[in-house]
Amino acid sequence: MVEWWVWAGVVAFVLGMLAVDLALHRNAHEVTVGEAARWSAVWIALGLAFGALVWVRLGGVAAGEYLGGYLIEKSLSVDNIFVFALLFGYFRVPLSYQHRVLFWGVLGALVLRALFIVGGAALIESFHWTIYLFGAALLFTGVRMARHGGASVHPERNAVLKLLRRVVPVTEDYEGQRFVVRRAGRRLATPLLAALIVVETTDLLFALDSIPAVFAVTTNTFLVFTSNAFAVLGLRALYFLFAHTIGRFAYLKIGLAAVLVFVGAKMILTDLYRVPIWASLTVIAALIGGSVVASLRHAGAPAPSATEGPGRGADLVDHGRGDGSEGNRQEGPQETGHGSSRREGEDDRQRVESQDPPHDERLKNMGVGLVDGRNQDGDE
């Protein structure tokens, strides 16, 4: 049993790190690959350091369970990156504003995931048979992911977004980093708020897979929450580090699907045979590592260096400056720009079209489109 002050300390630390991150990124700017790599290293180091504390405080078995949950959550968060790239393309969120959306998205995700974890732990403790339902759901999700790759993303069908548009008028263009503006005494939502709502609700769907997967490793609520929290904290940096290279990881979906199938089977068989934690860690690491190696071999090129210069961030297509240019409007087909706005939109399209054809094809195979501000039907 973990004491209440330990819980309080962990929550305070997580909130403190989020506050530091927000302070350092208070001025909107494009996050470069180098910056994302440094932040990724910080978040991973913190996650592993906490695992060492768990080892000292709770023992080796608990530390192994924490690391297993952390590895599962970190691996499955890569799937979020693919979808976030599509969502930002759909809403044409400028690169300099994407970190702000992800920051508040992560904060909301931590709160909602905490509620999911508490509810899931209570279900398993009160009704042990629910663990078989979780296992079956993971098996189904893993097989579906392996057969069909990435699911189609249709933000326009999001029920919460539809409700927002009915209740609160949404401005046509971005208004800097603001989510809400006041015009003529009325509060109006901006497209940035619409993007945040879709990102938040999409993460909820991912949590329905990832949280039960962690329960396959441990049912300790403290370990499930902390492994989720430290993995999700690094999601923003991971997005900016890897979103521009998603075409290299053609087989990663297969690896993630295999992990879901493995942990699903582990949950179903938990009363017949308990897989040692070291064996679970080995299998998960081998599946993810093998899919990454196979993907890089298939791509025919080594992974890009994390120390590449600032210019590499441009591979994430910038959809404008958030100042009302054509690239920032949600309804591209119905809107027309003037002068420089039209030229900025043409520049975006030329940058997308300049991608190598094999790169495009690999993205299609994974169910992921280029971040070019176009929906899945090809409309701008």
Per the structure block, which two tokens stand in for 140? 């189904």
Backbone angles phi, psi at 54, to 5 degrees: -60, -40
pLDDT for the residue 13: 95
Per the structure block, which two tokens stand in for 17? 């790190």
Residue 226, pLDDT above cutoff 90: yes
pLDDT tens, position by position, 237-261: 889 888 767 667 788 889 999 999 9
Residue 91, pLDDT above cutoff 50: yes
Contact 88, 180 (CB under 8 A): no
**Residue 226 vs residue 23, higher pLDDT:** 226
Q: What is the pTM (predicted TM-score) of this model?
A: 0.74
Residue 340, pLDDT above cutoff 60: no
Residue 262, pLDDT above cutoff 80: yes
Q: What angle do the packed helices 33-58 and 235-242 form, to 10 degrees?
A: 140
pLDDT tens, position by position, 274-324: 889 889 999 999 999 999 899 888 876 554 544 444 433 334 555 555 554
First-to-final CA distance of the chain: 54
pLDDT for the residue 321: 52
Contact 94, 205 (CB under 8 A): no
pLDDT tens, position by position, 143-193: 988 887 655 567 777 788 888 888 888 888 898 889 999 888 888 999 999
Q: Count the Cβ atoms, other than its own, within 10 Å of residue 319.
A: 27
Query: What are the CB-based long-range contacts (under 8 Å, 24+) for 158-167?
Result: 158/197, 158/198, 158/201, 160/197, 160/198, 160/201, 161/194, 161/197, 161/198, 161/201, 164/189, 164/193, 164/194, 164/197, 165/194
**Residue 45 vs residue 160, higher pLDDT:** 45
Backbone angles phi, psi at 182, to 5 degrees: -115, 125
Average pLDDT, the chain: 79
Backbone angles phi, psi at 134, to 5 degrees: -60, -45
SS3 call for 328: helix
Give the whole-number percent of the chain exceeding pLDDT 70: 77
Q: What's the rounded mean pLDDT across residues 123-141?
A: 91
Q: What gap in Å lies between CA 269 and CA 173, rounded to an integer? A: 53
Q: What's the rounded mean pLDDT across residues 67-80?
A: 88
Domain boundaries, the chain: 4-365
